[in-house]
Structure 1
């Protein structure tokens, strides 16, 4: 669980850094450049480990790379540019419920009543956070749809990668995904980039470099390590902490103030995440105790 939490914490920081990047870069440029940074760092490793990927997983790895990285990034950053931060955060709160539903309906994964209840509580917590946030931005239907599609893209990729990780090392898959992600991003960049002019400020490039090396490379390594040891449903619930960490970082680094309603939402989400971890552990401990008796 620790790997998943650290990855979520890093991804939450992308909300803060992303504010600087979006101000000077087009979302498509951010997607391509951040993935290129990550690919350049990991390429020497990919040359060595690519042959270790079983041929039966080759096409699936390409698909996972595309869904998890370029498609997810471009959809969410494009959506965030169109709609208000509060509405985007509310949709990110749907990730736990979307994880359960996608797993249940698309991958025939078992889901207990507790999974659905905790997912719904996490969503309620994020919706309360959004309702209490001080955001005067407009709500755009297309922006909301893009953010939701970005979440769905990431969740489907997560389920597919769970199967691949049964026969591929976490680090090997992550390195290959980052290089393939940068490659599969190229057609999107070439087709949809309208302004090829790039900013010259150091802060803008530092922001995108952070998004590529820390938020893409390091966070993906930690996330794949965590998902190989945890269930996708638990990972989906822990994803609900991403906007919580983002709000807390905004409070610390951007001096933003949080309302009482927002704090109530934060508490609900944190309690839901803790329950999702400790309730299964308590049940397992109880079964072991009953067996020992």
Structure 2
């Protein structure tokens, strides 16, 4: 749980940094590719090549293709159609996907976890529901693909690690996650990338470096490791903690208008969903 909270704080800045400094200015495919390459370079010297089952390598690579490759390509494109608050709004469905996918993997149905995720979704919706732009449908669909693949990557990584319980630190195999993401990001840039929209300022390069090394490299590793330590309901709820955190950053740093009453009410609803999950899911599993 502590790891998920730490990464939530780290990622709270990412939405605003992308929306304020990169979206529409830097080619989205290049932005994603640079993040993948930087994160992969961090883990390359740490990666264990021998003694790791082939199924585990492929499984982690697949989660990287989903959770990073496809997710971030869709996420960056969505900023061409949506504002930062709208992007935050449309990410509120990720908890539902996490819960449903986890249940599907175990061939079960957990009403408590689904209820908690639905309450968290309601809380995030209270925070961020307002007027939508004309391009919201395109942006909405892009983000639903991103939400689904991000959820699938989280659930998939957790199940891969449970299936292959090696006596090996997680960081020794997490490099395969970014190698998988590279399989998606590199061809996408080669086919769809725009060489005329590469970073033009030191600030843009610096933001990409931060997003690649900290938000992607460190953040995704800690998030997935944290996801392995909690149940699906808690993981689903923590996905929506990004909404109030991201809005606070957008409000305090970029001085964007926000309804503080709705922010407080939505935050309380999300906190209540976490209590519901912790209280009743344990009883259901007992």
Query: Do the aligned partners of 1:43 and 1:179 also contact (CA within 8 Å) in 2?
Result: no
Query: Do the aligned partners of 1:250 and 1:256 also contact (CA within 8 Å) in 2?
Result: yes
How far apart, CA to CA, are the structure 2 residues paired with 1:23 and 1:203? 15
Structure 1 position 181 matched with structure 2 position 181: yes
What pairs up with 1:73-88 in 2 under 5 angstroms? Answer: 73-88=72-87
Corresponding residue number in structure 1 for 2:93: 94
Corresponding residue number in structure 1 for 2:200: 200
Deviates more, 1:22-31 or 1:52-61: 52-61
| 1:81-103 CA distance string (max 9 Å, x none) | 21243433222111111212223
The structural deviation recorded for 1:210 is: 0.9
Query: Do the aligned partners of 1:12 and 1:242 also contact (CA within 8 Å) in 2?
Result: yes
Structure 1 197/238 Cα, relative in aligned 2: closer, same or farther at 3 Å?
closer
How far apart, CA to CA, are the structure 2 residues paired with 1:13 and 1:252? 11
How far apart, CA to CA, are the structure 2 residues paired with 1:173 and 1:40? 13
Corresponding residue number in structure 2 for 1:154: 150
How far apart, CA to CA, are the structure 2 residues paired with 1:163 and 1:112? 17
How far apart, CA to CA, are the structure 1 residues paired with 2:51 and 2:203? 38
Corresponding residue number in structure 2 for 1:291: none
How far apart, CA to CA, are the structure 1 residues paired with 2:250 and 2:271? 17
Structure 1 position 36 matched with structure 2 position 37: yes
Query: Do the aligned partners of 1:24 and 1:204 also contact (CA within 8 Å) in 2?
Result: no
How far apart, CA to CA, are the structure 2 residues paired with 1:65 and 1:117? 28
Corresponding residue number in structure 2 for 1:67: 66
Unaligned runs of 5+ in 1: 288-293
| 1:137-169 CA distance string (max 9 Å, x none) | 444212111101011011112222112213254
How far apart, CA to CA, are the structure 2 residues paired with 1:272 and 1:66? 30
Corresponding residue number in structure 2 for 1:145: 141
Unaligned runs of 5+ in 2: none
TM-score, length basis structure 2: 0.88
Query: Looking at CA atoms only, which structure, 1 or 2, has the larger radius of gyration?
Result: 1
Matched residues, number:
280
How far apart, CA to CA, are the structure 1 residues paired with 2:107 and 2:89? 25
Corresponding residue number in structure 2 for 1:124: 122
Deviates more, 1:161-170 or 1:64-73: 161-170
